[in-house]
Amino acid sequence: MLAAAISACNSPKEELKQEEPEIIGKKPVEVKDGRLSAEALHLFGQVTGVTISPDEQTILYGVSYADIAQNKRNRELFTVNMDGSNKKQITESPKSEGDVQWIKGGRKIAFIYDAQIWEMNPDGSDRKQISNYEKGIEGFKISPDGRKALFISQVKSFEKSSEKYPDLDKSSGRIIDNLMYKHWDEWVETIPHPFLADFDEGALANIIDILEGEPFESPMKPFGGIEQFDWSPDSKIIAYTSRKKTGKDYARSTNSDIYCYNIETKETKNITEGMMGYDLHPQFSSDGHYLAWRSMERDGYESDKDRLFILNLQTGEKRYLTEYFDYNVDDFCWDTASTNIFIVANVQGTSQLYRVNALNPATGDENFIVPITKGQHDYASVAFAKGFLVGLRHSMSSPNEVFTVSLIDGKETDISQENKEILDRITMGKVEPRLIKTTDDKEMLTWIVYPPDFDPTQQYPALLYCQGGPQSTVSQFWSTRWNLQLMAAHGYIIVAPNRRGVPGFGQEWNEQISGDYGGQNMKDYFSAIDEMAKEPFIDETRLGCTGASYGGFSVYWIAGNHNSRFKAFWAHAGIFNVEAQYLETEEMWFADWDLGGAFWDKSNAIAQNSFANSPHRFVEKWDTPIAVSHGELDYRILASQGMMAFNAAQLRDIPSRMLIFPNENHWISQPQNGILFQREFFRWFDQWLK
């Protein structure tokens, strides 16, 4: 493999070939009656990937644009000064640029284009390809000294039948001997490995596979990328994330670890050995004395508390920095002095920025973790620049924009303003937080979204929104699929409860749902809709219910237990038959933890309760129109689950409809499919609720 890798490198190309069709860029958006529409939703610029220049004066970020007619998206790069001035688009290409990094002291920008590493000047000029790796490159990080490149590429992990039997060269069968043969939306035939190369004058040489001969993936599928790696400031150590398991062990475990690879000695050390849950996203401090990472405690529990740990690389001491903070760490960064870590955490329904004192022992002192931001919005990322934090911020009423946050006075400034022109022409509905009493006398934060022209003297139909996950907060999220403002723009009041089993409200609230599908969290849903139905502006005879994934499970379950509350349902990618789901899904750790175990274990009371609450067991009580949607590339919850639900409704003569996407996975990512989904969604609910 090494020889092939070396022979595959470096024949730099000097020019970008403009051989693709029309370049996808920002399109004019038609806004009708000042209302948000499905079409407008897909033409907002999607802002991602903040990177700060070495002199901390310039921010580099990407914006993805959709072309509905071409049914494609494309990502371009922009720069803007820290004060928001001098915003420039520096690329205009037929394919997306990704994984951007400032190199050579900020004199150059390196990026991924067409599965290779390129570089250019900060203004986008002098664009050159600097790798020609035959297997393609998915992500990279240049070492701080600029002499080495770490990059991700795929290696073969599966022997095809035509390779085992050369005379059957047209055979397509997969011969499978173990679990995890598919994951999320792909049949696993390759796995990602980290590669190390000399980076000399813009070329790659002497390429080696850090995991040569190991059947393990790094980064971890399905969503891991270059953020699961980091260089030490002296360019001598690479920290990487891997779950070094295969087959059934891999399918049943979340026990990943952080490994440190010494590029001089080629030695690898597991620094989280004995820490049994997910260990992810290593980051060295600026002075190189510490390594921080996110860590979960328990093996098999993917929604365990996401903790912040640091390791003193000189003494070997590990410290749990967020022990007295009852919330997850969703993202983090060091400051340049290596004294503070800034984190993103969801607390009570919004995601904010906090400062953690990294050098003092963790205590319950309220000054140990200090809030930096507040307000009805979510931060999705955080980066540090002198005097500022920089992050992506969104809300239910606005997609991602790049914001700076002053560390002196806390002022938050939108410096990308990518979507301001469109947003200024759209009237969004009021988003209101309400505390609703549950059946066990708890207070539950529920977001209420009103139509843009809400009139309290009128009566409106309402939709109960059921969150997926299941352990995923109903925060100030923005989505092209489940956009609550879009629903409100069609004349519905949206009721979105943070029911039992979501993070952001303490670990006890988050963990209650495991082993209790169909239990208290369903009572929470009923508490929310029953309380809101008392309002004079909601017509209790026109209530609908919708959700995806676990939200789809919720819709199916509620359909058999709602006692005539609702007049129409829509379930996307939901679990209908829990027994079938246990054996159909790929990540067995999730099914084992959340359901309590296998359905054939009759002595396991938790598991038996889970399977007794399978929605398919209540089909005889279905009496309400129901629509089903699903993607056939969904290997987390197979499309057969949706087909079973639709077939059951049809056989019982219940008004029903099914929308199937042969080329979508657990989500709906293609622009035209997204618009089709929204048109059918509202056609269905308008038919039954208006």
Name the residues annotated as catalytic. Answer: 549, 634, 666
User: If you count them, how many residues does the chain have?
Assistant: 690
Separation between Cα atoms, residue 189 and residue 168, nearest integer Å: 18
Alpha helices for 400-492 (secondary structure H) = 420-423, 484-489
Tokens representing residue 310 in the block = 């640091």
State the residue for tokens 């934090």: 389
- Pair type for strands 383-385 and 568-572: unpaired
- Give the relative orientation of helices 605-612 and 588-595 as an angle to the nearest 10 degrees: 100
With contact defined as beta carbons under 8 Å apart, do 109 and 100 qualify? Answer: yes
Separation between Cα atoms, residue 571 and residue 23, nearest integer Å: 36
With contact defined as beta carbons under 8 Å apart, do 370 and 364 qualify? Answer: no
State the residue for tokens 């203004």: 123
DSSP 194-215: EEEEEE-SS-EEEEEETTTT--
Separation between Cα atoms, residue 324 and residue 154, nearest integer Å: 40
Separation between Cα atoms, residue 216 and residue 220, nearest integer Å: 9
Separation between Cα atoms, residue 29 and residue 111, nearest integer Å: 29
108 DSSP β-pair partners: 103
Distance spanning both ends of the chain, measured CA to CA: 63
Question: Residue 385's closest CA among 366, 362, 403?
Answer: 403
Separation between Cα atoms, residue 276 and residue 301, nearest integer Å: 10
